[in-house]
Amino acid sequence: MSSLHHPSDETLVRLAAGMLVGGPSIVVSAHLAGCAACRDAVGLFEAVGGVLLEQTAPSGDIPDGLARVRAAIERGPEPATTQRLPRRPPNLPNDIVWPAALGHSEFANWRWLAPGIRVSKSIDGELRLLRVAPGKSLLRHGHSGLEWTYIMAGSFVDGRARFRPGDICEVDGDIDHRPVIGDEEDCICLIAAEGNARPHGLIGRVHQVIFNT
């Protein structure tokens, strides 16, 4: 799965820096799992972080710091916390590759939003899975913040390009887009946003419902 559309460098820097957290970091990480070029870029930006750490002026000593660290080490590790099993939403096509980045996320059942459009929210509210029937379109909408969409199945065209499985569609406040789903199959996407979508029409309002319910 070789992607044509990647997160911006700025997004990759923020991920490396620990500044992209929550839903957006999961969506971008889903893309990274299949994109060696972006993994390399994040590795490079992490090394920039290492250099910035190295160049940070040391702050004052931590009182008894080393002794307290040694005592904690002597006490042994904390008991490992048990991990919950990831929960896929029901009725996903069998050939969908469930991103490892979603290992900690749990999703609710699909909800009907509009004809041909269903949504499943993650329990923590950070993520949305959107499933849209072939040929459907979402009305033009903009964003007050950044939004990342990772395509798991199907495709869509948003006036700029066609996005396919493995791709990331990153849009920000400057872009009004109107995704049109490809004819071949249902489009299943994983979406996270910073800020809220600004709808320009009915389905745009549906889009707002996706994020604000």
Name the residues that contact another protein, by CB under 8 A: 8-10, 13-15, 17-19, 21-23, 25-26, 29, 37, 40-44, 46-62, 65-66, 68-70, 72-73, 77, 101-106, 122-126, 172, 174
Nearest approach in angstroms of CB 120 to another protein is 15
Q: Which is nearer to another protein, 107 or 156 (CB)?
A: 107
Report CA torsion sign: 42, 43, 44, 45: positive
Q: Which is nearer to another protein, 29 or 149 (CB)?
A: 29
To another protein, the closest distance from the beta carbon of 61 in angstroms equals 6
Nearer to another protein, 56 or 212 (CB): 56
Q: Are 145 and 14 in contact (CB under 8 A)?
A: no
DSSP letters, 120-188, are EEBTTSS-EEEEE-TT-BPPPEEESS-EEEEEEES-EE-SS-EE-TT-EEEE-TT--B--EE-SSS-EE
Q: How far is the CB of 88 from another protein (least distance, A)?
A: 15
In angstroms, how far is the first alpha carbon of the chain from the final one?
33
Of 22 and 135, which has the nearer Cβ to another protein? 22
Sign of CA dihedral 194, 200, 203, 205: positive
Residue 111: enclosing H or E segment and its boundaries?
Answer: strand 111-114
Three-state DSSP at 14 gives helix
Q: How far is the CB of 111 from another protein (least distance, A)?
A: 20
Q: How far is the CB of 180 from another protein (least distance, A)?
A: 26
- The answer to whether residues 42 and 15 touch, using CB atoms and an 8 Å cutoff, is yes
Q: 18 vs 90, which CB is nearer to another protein?
A: 18
Residue 143 CB, shortest distance to another protein, in Å, is 13
Q: Which is nearer to another protein, 102 or 129 (CB)?
A: 102
